[in-house]
Amino acid sequence: MAVLRHSCGIVGMFAAYDVVPSLHRALLVIQHRGQESAGLSVFDGDEILTARGDGLVSVALTKNKVAGLSGKCGIGHVRYSTTGSKSLVNAQPLTVETAQGTVAVAHNGDITNFVNLKKSYLECGWSFLTSSDSEIIAKILSKYLARLNDPVEAIRCTMSELDGAYSLVIMVRNRVFGVRDPYGFRPLCIGKANDATMVVSESAALTTLNLDFVRDVAPGEIIEITDNCIVSHVTNTNLSPAHCVFEWVYFARPESIIDGGEVYDVRKRIGATLAREAPADADLVISVPDSGRAHAIGYSLESGIPYEEGFMKNRFADRTFILPDQKMREDAVSTKMNPIKSTVNGKRIIVVDDSIVRGTTLVKLIRSLKSAGVKEVHVRVGYPPVIAPCYYGVDMKSRSQLIAYNHSVEEIRQIMDANSLAYISISGLVDAIGLPKNSLCLACVNSKYPTKISGETFRR
Ligand code: 5GP
Ligand code: MG
């Protein structure tokens, strides 16, 4: 069964005015979380209306597409699917008719018991329209909405059937809820003004919309928002959280604040830690833009070695990471990035990137640096070696694709043809984030999973 993975972006809003323009802007701000499809659902006073489309927000939700939509509450979604069908049928928000009226759901994360859940519901005679794990959430919720008067109770019961990672925004007719799984894998925060409340994946959207950041949704918490208040329904969990470390390292925007840590600040601390853990004798620090920039600046400030732009990135180039074959990924890296010869020629260079997954990006970039005449290349990486797959929403699938799973650091250095290669340590990374180690998910770097996954080691 093809499983869709989601590292998406979600937003929900309730205001004293039409929320469509604000939701649209919020989706633009969280566009980096998903570029494959985008959608909006609003309650117009009578029914839920939805617009969805493939591609970027600007393409999927054109003026024409959202022209008929208006309402004081709504939710939105940008989707980053990495496996399975990319067809529009999987675009979100997903809407279903239930005993309590139309419900719209938008989801970020991966439900790890999806295959088993789907199998058991298929055996009960249920049918599904999409290959996405978000549909099963909507259908289980509708099962409980038929039995229970209170949508909060229905959401609580739905959560008890789900394992894995999910941040959700749910609209039950004109009621808007934000939900975070008991581990808080994926981010979700709340913002407020006098006449509007928003729940959104990243706080950067609140800044854009002039809403005050209130707090993160707590792991396991269900909140309801209205135009002037936030009601919290905490589901008691005794679990320690497992916030995804990769959000700070790569996924989130630098100006977002996630679970108390500003992403830019964390990245700079990672760079500084790398400079202490793995110094190098060199003339210049450069980054692999854009995601490695803050780490590189941190390295430069700590080491005293100057920072310069060593690569020019083509902002219109396609994403390289999810292309289906290796040749396409390599070509895409060269289309995306060229070295700036005057910066690097004849110099000993420290190249800082946020992470190495397959190794494609750096192998290609080091070759291009050598052609541009660098004397030495010292690679420093802001994330420990990725040795195990992610089941919680980041596209790191099978071990065989992970260069650090079957190669030592020295072997990777040789493959990259670098003069030296060093990764940040796990403890250095944890300290840079500033949260206790047992509140983070580090499964992809230590192979210990916070939830039970067949064939993998459970961390407790
Ligand atoms: P590699 O080329 O080693 O496979 O991937 C590492 C590079 O891709 C790094 O520059 C990093 O910023 C970026 N990257 C890491 N994880 C992801 C991801 O999940 N999605 C995308 N689009 N890029 C990623
Ligand atoms: Mg990058």
The residue nearest atom 9 of ligand 1, judged by CA position, is 355
Strand partners of residue 196: 15, 193
Between CA 357 and CA 338 the distance in angstroms is 21
What average pLDDT does range 394-415 have in this prediction? 94
CA of 50 to the centre of ligand 2 (A): 34
Q: Does ligand 1 lie within 6 Å of residue 288's CB atom? A: yes
> Binning pLDDT at 50, 70 and 90, where does residue 236 land?
confident
Tell the residue nearest (CA) to atom 4 of ligand 1.
Answer: 358
State the distance from the centre of ligand 2 to the C-alpha of 251, rounded, in angstroms. 10
Which of helix, strand or coil describes residue 423? strand
Minimum CA distance residue for ligand 1 atom 8: 321
pLDDT surpasses 90 at 319: no
- From atom 22 of ligand 1, which residue's Cα is the shortest distance away? 321
Q: Is the CB of 121 under 6 A from ligand 1?
A: no
Residue 450 pLDDT > 80, yes or no? Answer: yes
Phi-psi region of 66 (alpha: psi -120 to 50; beta: other; left: phi over 0): alpha
Which residues fall within 8 angstroms of residue 7, CB to CB, at 6 or more apart?
33, 34, 80, 82, 108, 109, 186, 251, 393, 394, 395
Above pLDDT 70, what percent of the chain? Answer: 96
Nearest bound ligand to CA 403?
A: 1
Q: What is the pLDDT of residues 181-209, one digit of tens each?
A: 999 999 999 999 999 999 999 999 999 99
Longest Cα–Cα distance of the chain, Å, equals: 72
**Cα–ligand 2 centroid distance for 353 (angstroms):** 6
Name the residue at shortest CA distance from atom 6 of ligand 1.
Answer: 356
Kindly write down the DSSP assignment for every residue of 271-329, as one continuous string.
HHHHHHHS----SEEEE-TTTTHHHHHHHHHHH---B---EEE-TTSPPSTT-SSHHHH
For the CA of 247, the nearest ligand: 1
- Burial pattern 140-159, b for ≥16 Cβ within 10 A else e, equals bbbbbbeebeebbebbbbbb
For residues 405-413, average pLDDT = 97
- Rounded to the nearest 10°, the torsion over CA 315, 311, 351, 254 is -30
Mean pLDDT of the chain: 94
Which residue, among 234, 198, 204, 205, has the nearest Cα to 219 in the 3D structure? 234
User: What is the reported pTM?
Assistant: 0.95
Pocket test for ligand 1, best of 360, 361, 398 (most atoms within 8 A of CB): 361
Ligand 1 and 303: CB distance under 6 A: no
Q: What pLDDT is stored for residue 84 in this prediction?
A: 47
246 pocket-lining for ligand 1 (C-beta < 6 Å):
no
On the question of pLDDT at 30 being above 80, the answer is yes
Ligand 1: which atom is nearest the Cα of residue 319?
22
pLDDT tops 50 at residue 1? no
Say what the pLDDT of residue 44 is: 97
